[in-house]
Structure 1
């Protein structure tokens, strides 16, 4: 296998949920990262907060990629319908407003590349595949919107579309990164697993079936993705707060990253403010990732607090 071995350095920002400031915009703009990737869920429950953060992100002076999360462009009634598994027909009542919010958010994101059933070439032998947006696990989410915008109405249709998108990739010359909001199925069913369920007594695998099946079948064909990036399932596991969630897993040559450390901006006992992101690197053709914590807006300073060191080391290597 002949791969482009040029080094890459990419910042990955997990679910923001309102935790983004001008400190982040300026830090990433002035950094030596080649690009910045966002896993979605930009805002909190305050009206307009998502759009304000999108406008700040648009001012980051680097190439930017984002997949929209289940909190982006959707409404609280829509989220409740998904959580309660209400009839999809009820969603028609808010569909028009959903489309308007969607168009407004895309405008506010400016030159940010929106990853959603599409493929971007990032140069230096790298392609970024956008998976199904707005996913929140458990089922095929927001079916009316997904069918209207993308013409896809099932897990099977979603997986088929992803296969179609990568047909033109030469895997001997291109490394494939997959960007999703929720991660793939098949990576564990415990609360502490990278996309395991931590809010049900029985726990379980909360990854997306279409994405999981796509990755397994593609890998079996020798067209293996190098990196899979997602969020949605937050690191602060309800059942294991001391250990928290595994955020990095490497298995059979694919690096899986769950970047959703929520909140990503937090304070310690001494009052220091920390900002979380993940540094994704390719060195000599090998991909790896490290959790990064800016202290009071500057590069992390060692030694780190014990609880941060514990978070950094919640990884799983199965190669």
Structure 2
């Protein structure tokens, strides 16, 4: 039976930029042009309230969406961070400066409609530290967003799904959703002592589940925060990608450091995702060299080829 839902027929090439942590250079902008992407998704942690890094990324001349991470409010969201703040918070609000620079491209607690791609990008909770407890940043969310609990956060994220204009929704968060596993090596697994436990965001998971329940196409959920290199062991990396029963691909893009330099070489990473007809057909982690050529490519997902039976 033919689906009556509008389909995104054009293959969409997406670059996902993992936790930047001050590693953004003019060559990165050139690299995105070289990669010929239709959309760039940033999962946050540009630096410790690194306004100039955000300014450079906001100036990119291509469709983009971003969610600010916990480091992007490092000196503003917690009491201990405010005590270490290197600038006068009475005279400057660097969190707001970042939000103003990104404008509509910041989809934390928001969404971005991309009609020429026939999709909506919905953001997760901005500035998230991960986990299921509404704890040391509670006053920050109350002051910034008038959101005072995990339940209120969940309701707000679900409202963005309800208001989405398109049948295809891509989700972007800083921390990923709860439900992807409790092992320390899981995409959002707790890898510090005591190790183990699901450190994903339950409000983000609820928004994704609602989109799936409403019959939306959800090809991709991407995030960072939990770095690929594990703290509790060095012999393997974190699980970077999983797929659920509905076919949604969950991609952790936090390959940190994202730029590695030597005396003669420079490698920078991007995650590349191709979406076609509302499905991810390929996802990979690529490293570009100093000439912006692809030096290596690790395929994390390739859609299985369905063979047709005859007879």
Give the TM-score of the pair, scaled to structure 1.
Answer: 0.81
Deviation at residue 77 of structure 1 after TM alignment: 8.1
Residue 238 of structure 1 pairs with residue 231 of structure 2: yes
* 2:16 equivalent in structure 1: 12
Of 247, 254, 259, 1:265 maps to: 259
Change (3 A) 1:178 1:285: closer
Aligned twin of 2:189: 196
Paired residue secondary structure (1:189): coil
Alpha-carbon separation, structure 2, partners of 1:137 and 1:80: 18
1:186 has 2:179 as partner: yes
- Which sections of structure 2, spanning at least 5 residues, go unmatched? 305-311
- SS in structure 2 at match of 1:290: strand
Aligned to 1:28: 32
Alignment of 1:46-65 (within 5 A): 50-65=50-65
Alignment of 1:135-146 (within 5 A): 135-138=128-131, 139-140=133-134, 142-146=137-141
Secondary structure of the 2:44 match is coil
- Residue 43 of structure 2 is matched in structure 1 by 39
SS of 2:47's equivalent in the other structure is coil
In structure 2, what is the Cα distance between the partners aligned to 1:226 and 1:240?
31
Task: Say whether residues 1:118 and 2:110 are aligned partners.
Answer: yes
Question: What is the SS of the residue equivalent to 2:93?
Answer: helix
Q: CA RMSD in A?
A: 3.0
Q: Give SS of 1:235's match.
A: coil
CA distance in 2: counterparts of 1:285 and 1:135, whole angstroms? 28
**Structure 1 unaligned blocks of 5 or more:** 83-89
- Measure the CA separation in 1 of the matches of 2:98 and 2:277: 38
2:212 alignment partner, one of 204, 214, 219: 219
Partner SS state of residue 288, structure 2: strand
Preserved contact between residue 283 and residue 301 of structure 2 (Cα < 8 Å): no
**Once the 2 structures are TM-superposed, how far is the Cα of residue 42 of structure 1 from its aligned partner?**
0.4
Normalised by the length of structure 2, the TM-score is: 0.83
**Across the two proteins, how many residue pairs are aligned to each other?**
292
Which residue of the partner structure matches residue 66 of structure 1?
66
The offset of 1:280, in angstroms, is 1.6
How far apart are 1:178 and its partner, in Å?
1.0
- Asked if structure 1 preserves the Cα contact closer than 8 Å seen for 2:19 and 2:46, the reply is yes
Name the CA distance, whole Å, in 2 between partners of 1:77 and 1:249.
31
Distance of aligned partners of 1:79 and 1:314 in 2 relative to their CA distance in 1, 3 Å threshold: farther
Shift of 1:106: 2.8
SS at structure 2 position matched to 1:71: helix
Change (3 A) 1:221 1:314: same
Aligned mates of 1:33, 1:316 — CA distance in 2 = 18
